[in-house]
Amino acid sequence: MLDDFHYYEPKQGHGLPHDPFNAIVGPRPIGWISSQSASGVLNLAPYSFFNAFNYIPPIVGFCSIGRKDSLNNIEATGEFAWNLATFELAAPMNQSCAPVGPEVDEFSLSGLTPAPSKVISVPRVAQTPVSFECKLTQVLQLQRADGQTVPSWLVLGEVVAVYIRRDLLKDGVYDTAAARPILRGGGPADYFELGNLFKMTRPQA
């Protein structure tokens, strides 16, 4: 039976040409995170180890693999914005991941316009149809099963303000597909658009 499976224990390596882990846990939504340094330098970067974690209050989080500018800025200011990465914004989203120093503003590097936020002082991406303003709630350094820490930090934030372009609300219901979000696949260049919608209701108690 086990012969039907490629089995591996990650500590010993996967034995494949590419690590399948993030292709399996995929496609993933993109946390396109804007932040600002203590001295006011703007920053924008995509994070696909990103998701929503709670309804009330709404909480989102992303993982910084290594200490990156976004993490440093958010620790310094306690604020960040999340911006929806759409198909139309795929190229500037990709541009904003350039490994540049903290003095470089990826808004201008990617040809994007910062739009002022309302509750926080970090701007959002003016060109995106959906944004969240977030306040930092926790930074958790990840660890192995044996308790050994690893240089990865999960950044969690409460969503304190939401912007939705009106045309994405159909009779008041947010139309996920109409926004054309892009999703991250496993390979270095793999992205997905949304596929077919199907509906399934939960079993009744």
Contact 50, 29 (CB under 8 A): yes
Q: Which is nearer to ligand FMN, 73 or 117 (CB)?
A: 73
Degrees to nearest 5, angle at CA 44 with 40 and 47: 135
Q: Is residue 144 classed exposed, middle or buried when 0-12, 13-18 and 19+ CB atoms within 10 A define those classes? A: exposed
Q: Which is nearer to ligand FMN, 44 or 202 (CB)?
A: 44
Q: How far is the CB of 164 from ligand FMN (least distance, A)?
A: 22
Report helix, strand and coil shares of the chain as percent, to nearest 5: 20, 35, 45
Options 52-60, 94-102, 124-132, 195-203: segment touching ligand FMN (CB under 6 A): 94-102
Q: Is residue 181 classed exposed, middle or buried when 0-12, 13-18 and 19+ CB atoms within 10 A define those classes? A: buried
Nearest to 102 by CA among 66, 131, 143, 73: 73
Please report whether residue 83 would count as binding ligand FMN according to CB under 6 A. no
Q: What is the DSSP letter of 103?
A: T
Q: How far is the CB of 81 from ligand FMN (least distance, A)?
A: 13
Q: How far is the CB of 38 from ligand FMN (least distance, A)?
A: 15
Place of tokens 């958790």: 140
Options 2-10, 58-66, 137-145, 160-168: segment touching ligand FMN (CB under 6 A): 58-66
Q: Which is nearer to ligand FMN, 45 or 84 (CB)?
A: 45
Please report whether residue 77 would count as binding ligand FMN according to CB under 6 A. no
Q: Which is nearer to ligand FMN, 111 or 167 (CB)?
A: 111
Per CB under 6 A, residues contacting ligand FMN are 30, 43, 45-49, 62-65, 68-70, 94, 97, 99, 184
